[in-house]
Homo-oligomer: A and B are copies of this chain.
Amino acid sequence: MDAVRAQVNTAVAVLKQRLGERLSTSSATCEQHGRDESYHAAHAPDAVVFPKSTEEVAEIVRVCAEHGTPVIPFGIGTSLEGHVAALHGGVCIDLSEMNEIVRASAEDMDVTVQAGVRRKQLNEYLRDTGLFFPIDPGADATIGGMTATRASGTNAVRYGTMRENVLALTVVTADGRIVNTARRARKSAAGYDLTRVFVGSEGTLGVITEITLRLYGIPEATSAAVCSFPGIEGAINTVIETIQMGVPVARIELLDELQMEACNNYSDLEYPVAPTLFLEFHGSEASVAEQAETVQVLATENGAGDFQWATRTEDRNHLWQARHDAAYAALSLRPGAKMWATDVCVPISKLAECILETKKDLAESFLMAPLVGHVGDGNFHLVFLFDPNDERELAEVERLNERLVLRALALDGTCTGEHGVGYGKLNFLTAEHGEAVSLMRGIKKALDPANIMNPGKVVQI
């Protein structure tokens, strides 16, 4: 056993004494915590701890720092690029028991939650206040995880991403200090934007333990619609024109014909198997009607069929649940296959080109990959369906994924719009950012000089 392993074992032993049953080294628990929803290989930590407070997280990190032991924060494990894999072992901090709403203000339209609070839990809590938190990545993720990965999802086109909606954070630093990144004021020019430094840092700079979020009033009126297009270009052009007209559409999602086939099967829908937009409008009654009318005109000009409206709440919920289940639905196209979900984001003027070239790649490949996306932001996903034990299939996914990413970069886009880097997209970071990666590395070294915070993710140092 080498010196590093001995150090980790010492850290685990010290923590066991302090935390008792709230530290587990059982292989089932460790294995579960080294794995997310991605295909990327799992790596189990040496131990999993379940703290109940920011102070306890700080104490855990101090022990790990003292013994050079990696620390991997864990929400609920719904990340998609291997974010939680304990590549070098160490201690996984499972924040699920820190699931309290710390404070909320209807007047200020903000709320402070512990990192383990989940998205649906928060909106359930808020229901009677007339407010809601719009960011919705699909999975019922923890707010801590969503913050750490700079999550966005279907509502981002209207409400922004976690980047725009986190007001302040409580963070445990790599040496176990507790800091607050900002006050609750809506804006500030007082110093560097530490909040945005930690949003999207994927646990590599510290452990996010509390998050203050911006909230929104539940819209007076909501309506949702589905419309099909004879070809994908008509759907994409409708999206581009909607954004350019300044229609404050709340959701505008594209599903290709393959994805629609999957959703029809999996979620018991009966829509045409054709490129389709799922839309949602928020506002006053008059505003929603006006928005819908504008988009209908644009869609018709682009060859769309009739809008099918989901006006009842249960119909809307069914529709969006189907959208959220798109990946699982995709799996139903090839039972037994694994999925590799990838995402890119490009300027919207490049969206048609990026999607059409990608569809051409897929048409020429022997693999299947339904396409679905938050196209109002220029962001879309492929879900590759493959057999990971078949080397030819694995190589083909890697080839298609790399072509997709390089295409997005060539179009002034990003290698990931919302899934994050983890270790799955680590190798694309320099292709995207070039020399700027050295600045990221500088920040990493400044805030985590011993490289114990989720090592091997985002930037390699």
A-side residues, CB < 8 A to B, are 105-110, 149-152, 156, 160-161, 163-164, 173, 177-194, 196-197, 199-201, 205, 216-217, 219, 240, 243-246, 284, 286-287, 290, 345-349, 377-379, 408-409, 412-421, 425, 428-429, 432-440, 442-447, 458-459
Could you give 10 example pairs across A and B, Cβ below 8 Å?
A: A152-B187, A177-B438, A183-B413, A183-B414, A184-B412, A185-B345, A190-B414, A192-B197, A196-B196, A216-B246
- With a CB–CB cut-off of 8 A, which chain B residues contact A284? 287, 290
Q: A164-B164, A179-B439 are in contact. Are A190 and B347 (CB under 8 A)?
A: no
Copies of this chain per assembly:
2
Smallest beta-carbon distance A242→chain B, Å: 12
Other-chain residue from B349, B425, B434 in contact with A190 (beta carbon distance below 8 A)? B425
CA distance A439 to B224 in the complex (A): 45
- With a CB–CB cut-off of 8 A, which chain B residues contact A347? 105, 107-108, 110, 184-186
Smallest beta-carbon distance A78→chain B, Å: 14
Q: Is the CB of B192 within 8 A of A443?
A: yes
CA distance A225 to B110 in the complex (A): 29
CA distance A110 to B240 in the complex (A): 14
- With a CB–CB cut-off of 8 A, which chain B residues contact A445? 446
Smallest beta-carbon distance A377→chain B, Å: 5
- With a CB–CB cut-off of 8 A, which chain B residues contact A420? 189-190
Q: Is the CB of B188 within 8 A of A345?
A: yes
Q: Is the CB of B156 within 8 A of A240?
A: no
Given contacts A186-B347, A190-B432, A192-B205, 7 further A-B contacts (CB under 8 A): A105-B349, A107-B349, A152-B189, A164-B164, A179-B439, A185-B412, A189-B417
**What 7 A-B pairs come out closest when comparing CB atoms?**
A196-B196, A446-B446, A217-B246, A188-B414, A107-B349, A442-B446, A185-B345
Most buried by B among A110, A150, A240, A421: A150
**What is the chain B residue whose CB lies nearest that of A448?**
B442
Q: Is the CB of A188 within 8 A of B409?
A: no
Q: Is the CB of A193 within 8 A of B196?
A: yes
Q: A191-B459, A434-B180, A443-B192 are in contact. Are A377 and B186 (CB under 8 A)?
A: yes
- With a CB–CB cut-off of 8 A, which chain B residues contact A185? 345-347, 377-379, 408, 412-414, 417
CA distance A164 to B415 in the complex (A): 21
Q: Is the CB of A429 within 8 A of B181?
A: no
- With a CB–CB cut-off of 8 A, which chain B residues contact A219? 246
**What is the chain B residue whose CB lies nearest that of A441?**
B446
Q: A161-B187, A199-B193, A378-B186 are in contact. Are A173 and B439 (CB under 8 A)?
A: yes
CA distance A417 to B205 in the complex (A): 26
Q: Is the CB of A421 within 8 A of B191?
A: yes
- With a CB–CB cut-off of 8 A, which chain B residues contact A150? 187-189, 193
CA distance A151 to B196 in the complex (A): 16
Q: Is the CB of A434 within 8 A of B183?
A: no
Smallest beta-carbon distance A61→chain B, Å: 14
CA distance A86 to B321 in the complex (A): 58
CA distance A438 to B449 in the complex (A): 14
Q: Is the CB of A412 within 8 A of B183?
A: yes
**What is the chain B residue whose CB lies nearest that of A282?**
B246
**What is the chain B residue whose CB lies nearest that of A150?**
B189
CA distance A428 to B189 in the complex (A): 12
- With a CB–CB cut-off of 8 A, which chain B residues contact A290? 284, 286-287
Q: Is the CB of B191 within 8 A of A440?
A: yes
**What is the chain B residue whose CB lies nearest that of A220?**
B246
CA distance A189 to B374 in the complex (A): 14
Most buried by B among A191, A409, A440: A191
Smallest beta-carbon distance A201→chain B, Å: 6
CA distance A447 to B435 in the complex (A): 13
- With a CB–CB cut-off of 8 A, which chain B residues contact A149? 189
- With a CB–CB cut-off of 8 A, which chain B residues contact A432? 183, 190-191
